[in-house]
Amino acid sequence: MTTTNEFGKVLQAAGAPEGPSPGWAELHAGWRSRRPPAALVLAGVLGALTPLALAALAVLVVARAVTSDAGLFPRVLVPVLLVGILLGLAALCLRGVLRAVHLGDTRGLRFPSRVAGIVCVPVAGFLVFWTQVRGNPVEASMAAPFAFLALTLLPVPLLAAPAVRRWPTEVLLRRGPTVRSGWEVWAFLQARPHRCGQVLALPPGGAEPVADAERTGAVLRGACPRCGQPYAVTFADAPPDERAAPDDPLALGARGSRGSGLGGGDWQHLATTLAVPEELDVAAAGTAALGTALAHGAVSVQATAELLALVPPHRRSVPSWRLAGHPLPLAQSTRELTRTVLQRQAGERRARVEQVHAELVRRGAAPPDLPW
């Protein structure tokens, strides 16, 4: 991911952790399933000292601003900017700690030391100029940036432990979604394109089967056809009772099951973009086009059902915290994700798919049964 922001370029150069942070429920379930190596847990504890130190520094900045008698700019604007940077860095560092312990992505534990190193180089040059060239006295406070650098380096030696280096392979499938069928793998790729915007395609044989120490799944590896960057997307197999039946080829999962690998934003994107187009003339369209419309429309109907399942009984629309995944325009999120609208859209989309299915049956094309 590229950025034009100078501060963002520094974070990018330092290897800021990418990807979402695992939730506490996910962390707890992972801990119960397979505990990380002791060396990695200790590295995580030491790594957590960095976001705590940054948060404490932010509190100190606020306290000094409150007690200062300076003007508006130094009392409010500068502290607000500085506190925002400190808390943002603290959040990134904490995300790196959680991803390292849960997923084995140890780059997040190296990120704080890289940022501190980037900052300390110009600071060291300035201090040499300030004390040796300008002749100013050396003060104890000048060591603070380098003490912080030492703090960020505490977990790094532990990352060389053999058990820590094996951990990413042992929990490989934690990094990707849990899927119930090949169709759900395809749907995930449609909703989550590559960082350059390219929708990744499944190879003819499907993703490569893999297994880690916890479960089975698949991994999709290759180079993006647009930007050329390598990618690896993992998919964990859902429990057997949630997987689509072999005789239900258009189903995303078993009847009555709910997908857990995609968020509300993903389902809304799939429901709207894969619906049978209104301009499609079913009677005049070719059989191949109708077959594609049938498969995509079936995914659209099931995605709409997944959205309806995200509406709590005591609410009228999908809550904003359940709209993870594909980003949605705010107006669309509030206007189209109410229970009433989704129920109406589900009926309309199902009717269009059934119309396509009936036309294929009339032509003797033997389409697969609909998954509802």
Paired strand residues for 179: 237
> Where residue 65 falls among pLDDT bands split at 50, 70, 90?
confident
- Which range is least confidently modeled, 6-10, 99-103, 307-311? 6-10
Tens of pLDDT, residues 250-276: 999 998 899 988 999 999 999 999 999
Please choose, from the candidates 42, 40, 59, 63, the residue with its C-alpha nearest in 3D space to the C-alpha of residue 51: 59
pLDDT of residue 334: 65
Percentage of residues of the chain with pLDDT beyond 90: 68
Least confident of 1-10, 13-22, 162-171, 262-271: 1-10
Mean of the per-residue pLDDT values for the chain?
Answer: 90
pLDDT band per the 50, 70, 90 thresholds, residue 372: confident
Asked whether the predicted pLDDT for residue 100 surpasses 70, the reply is: yes
Q: What pLDDT, on the 0 to 100 scale, is given for residue 234?
A: 94
Q: Contacts from 160-164 at CB under 8 Å and sequence distance 24+?
A: 161/37, 161/39, 161/40, 163/37, 163/38, 163/39, 163/40, 164/37, 164/39, 164/40, 164/43, 164/106
Please give the pLDDT value at position 72. 66
Instruction: Give pLDDT, residue 20.
Output: 81
Over the stretch 116-150, which tens digit does the pLDDT of each residue have?
A: 998 899 999 999 999 988 888 999 889 999 999 99
Q: Given this model, what pLDDT does residue 30 score?
A: 93
Burial of 72 (0-12, 13-18, 19+ CB in 10 A): exposed
Q: Which residues, 6 or more positions from 226, have their beta carbon under 8 angstroms from its beta carbon?
A: 194, 196, 197, 198
What does the pLDDT look like over 321-371, one tens digit per residue? 888 889 887 666 667 789 999 999 999 999 999 999 999 999 998 888 898
What pLDDT sits at residue 207?
84
pTM for this entry: 0.81
What's the pLDDT tens digit per position in 179-236? 999 999 999 999 999 989 999 988 877 789 999 999 999 999 989 999 999 999 999 9
pLDDT greater than 80 at residue 159: yes
19 falls in which pLDDT band (50, 70, 90)?
Answer: confident
292-300 mean pLDDT: 96
Least trusted range by pLDDT, from 5-19, 60-74, 317-331: 5-19
